A and B are shown apart, each in its own frame.
Chain A
Amino acid sequence: GQNIDQPTEMTATEGAIVQINCTYQTSGFNGLFWYQQHAGEAPTFLSYNVLDGLEEKGRFSSFLSRSKGYSYLLLKELQMKDSASYLCAVLEANQAGTALIFGKGTTLSVSS
């Protein structure tokens, strides 16, 4: 089974930095993903961590600590278009196969 927790909502202003935290409890951990989803649209891939540490990709970075069951997504130089839901997801492996299990998402509102 799995339990993935992230804040429901966050607000920030343009140009700022925001960190979205995610904690998880799962068996068969096979990696952690972050997705961005605008309302009514498909989730789009942002980042993937399987080893501990920081992965940087332009304005977005993601961190993983497997021993703590913790990840964060860091968004720098925020823009209005970054207003969206950010989904933390754990790739869980078991005897049957693997499945990407999502948290409920964090709705980020960026204001000017």
Chain B
Amino acid sequence: DSGVTQTPKHLITATGQRVTLRCSPRSGDLSVYWYQQSLDQGLQFLIQYYNGEERAKGNILERFSAQQFPDLHSELNLSSLELGDSALYFCASSPSTGGYTFGSGTRLTVV
């Protein structure tokens, strides 16, 4: 157990739908990062939050959004889902400096 908790582990939904992925960081970590991993693309950085505020943005689509709550957990919202959004979505957390610890991921399948 890495200390980073992601739910759900698996999600199957239809095109056009909206889903919410949840992440609880390691105790004491203020930063949360979201990544998308598809078979041909590797780990793609989506967005970072630090202590409730958005800090850095990567290749995140406009259909996707995220937030970090006062208790530091984070949610990634994916809307108007397309087949190509099927992927593993990882959350990672870190203290103010240092390496990232990854959660076990949410496998999203869009049918």
Contacts and interface: CB of A to CB of B under 8 A. Distances in A.
Contacts of A105: 42-43
Contacts of A44: 2, 102
Interface in A50-109: 87, 89, 94, 96-105
A44 to B, nearest CB: 7
Contacts, number: 56
Interface in B82-100: 88, 90, 92, 99-100
Contacts of B92: 100
Interface of B is mostly: strand
B50 interface: yes
B55 interface: yes
Contact of B100 (A40, A41, A94, A100): A100
Interface of A: 33, 40-45, 48, 87, 89, 94, 96-105
Interface of B: 2, 33, 35, 41-45, 48, 50, 55-58, 88, 90, 92, 99-105, 107
